[in-house]
Structure 1
């Protein structure tokens, strides 16, 4: 996998690096001066190690024999390139946008499953006007939120950019354009939890959520039995997205994020791309988990 990443990311990194060197006035030719102590292969290797195991920049600096700032700069360069790779669903097929995911599900005749996941982050500094918007209404903790979409087998297809934790799941889905993509795109069934109730009516029933309760009090025994059976049936169909989120959270960078919040979107999407590539390589397309 590392060899594939080197072949894919290397030219992109070199192009961006050369563009940065030539974009400003220079007294020396491009390429003059001291050579990097941390070569590209080591820069690429340090980034997945940091994302997967949560190794601090100080530890990585000792490992590679460079300064901490060099590791910070290297990860900052490589992480956006990894985030732009998209999710791999086949050796030659990658999905980058929500519209591509909907088209893929429609072409393959599969159902999709969506859910929101929260990642704890550091509390914004005192005095910031937007300090409270990161507080999650569900967990009462400072967090950012991402919408995860998998297929019926739990294969990761899409992770959205991060939003503050106070954003509701249904609001986030609407902001991403899920309703428009489902209405204008192919006929696709999307399974969701109760946090997305209301999208079914907007999408012509394409978003399927748990059944509403018709009785708030003193429900008949026969109704309780039917409602519970329907709820469990729906829950058993959408449990695969929870497995997909669990695989994401196994990466230490998403267990609890101690870095800058503005890097969370790239971090989430970089991990999603690496994880989906690994799943495709080890299990092969169409194989069960």
Structure 2
């Protein structure tokens, strides 16, 4: 049912089959490596078997990433304990991240540097925004417990930065950071400013959460002008923004649909 319903995972059955064939052996290899890396009283393979096979682990992870479903909900859905879902998501997400985003059969982007080079080579405009996924409240006594509280949604969350093109194709999704991290801070930690300074000339549209990156990147990051610039925008803002980019930005700034679907 899950594989056949694209609304749950956002992927067709053929794409899921490709992920199983490509990522499944990597997961099994790493799982076996963890088993033999520590002292054991029983032979590898002995004992209880997995109640959640790899295909279900992959589907649970895809549903979590697409809809932000909590681990408790997914545990009820798959008929396992919450800790099993947590372990599955933590194992599968790095494998999906290492696989990267497939742009075409010949092109697969894995890092933000590759995304910048791709946009420069194709002449396409990029769109950047942050997306949040709700998480369980960290345990009492954890020193960084308050860092997960999102100031925007007033809930415990983790945040990732997503880059797409103007057609909505996902080009990059960053590792998650606590929800209190501002979008612009996250982008700086990813090295976006340096990549745009030394890389090809590209144009990336962003919302007001990234105001300030335009000045640091020579106008390559285009954001709505600060309220004090609405009448007298600086030269770096006016000079780098074409009419078409302004039109696209108006369409995107009010909605992050391309980044959340």
Q: Normalising TM by the smaller chain, what interval?
A: 0.7 to 0.9
TM-score, length of structure 2 as denominator length: 0.72
Please tell me whether residue 208 in structure 1 is matched to residue 208 in structure 2: no
Larger Rg: 1
Query: Which one of the candidate residues 161, 182, 188 is aligned to 1:147?
Result: 161
Task: Please say if 1:242 is aligned against 2:256.
Answer: yes
Asked if residue 60 in structure 1 is aligned to residue 78 in structure 2, the reply is yes
CA distance in 2, matches of 1:241, 1:89: 23
- How many residue pairs match? The answer is 232
| One of 4, 22, 25 as aligned partner of 1:11 | 25
- In structure 2, the residue matched to 1:110 is 124
Residues 97 and 34 (structure 1), Cα distance of their counterparts in 2 relative to 1, 3 Å cut: same
Q: Contact between 1:116 and 1:148, CA under 8 Å: does it hold in 2?
A: yes
The DSSP-based 3-state class of the residue aligned with 2:99 is coil
TM-score (norm 1): 0.66
Find the aligned partners of 1:67 and 1:158 in 2 and give their Cα distance.
31
Preserved CA contact (<8 Å) 1:121 1:142:
yes
In 2, Cα distance between equivalents of 1:74 and 1:27:
24
Q: 2:103 aligns with which of 76, 81, 89?
A: 89
5+ unaligned residues in a row in structure 2: which ranges?
Answer: 1-14, 232-242
Partner residue of 1:78 out of 87, 92, 95:
92
Aligned-residue offset at 1:188:
0.8
Larger relative contact order (CA 8 Å, sep ≥ 6): 1
Give the RMSD, CA atoms, in angstroms.
3.3
- Using the TM superposition, give the Cα deviation of residue 49 of structure 1 relative to its aligned residue in structure 2, in angstroms: 5.1
Structure 1, gaps ≥5 residues long: 220-229, 248-289
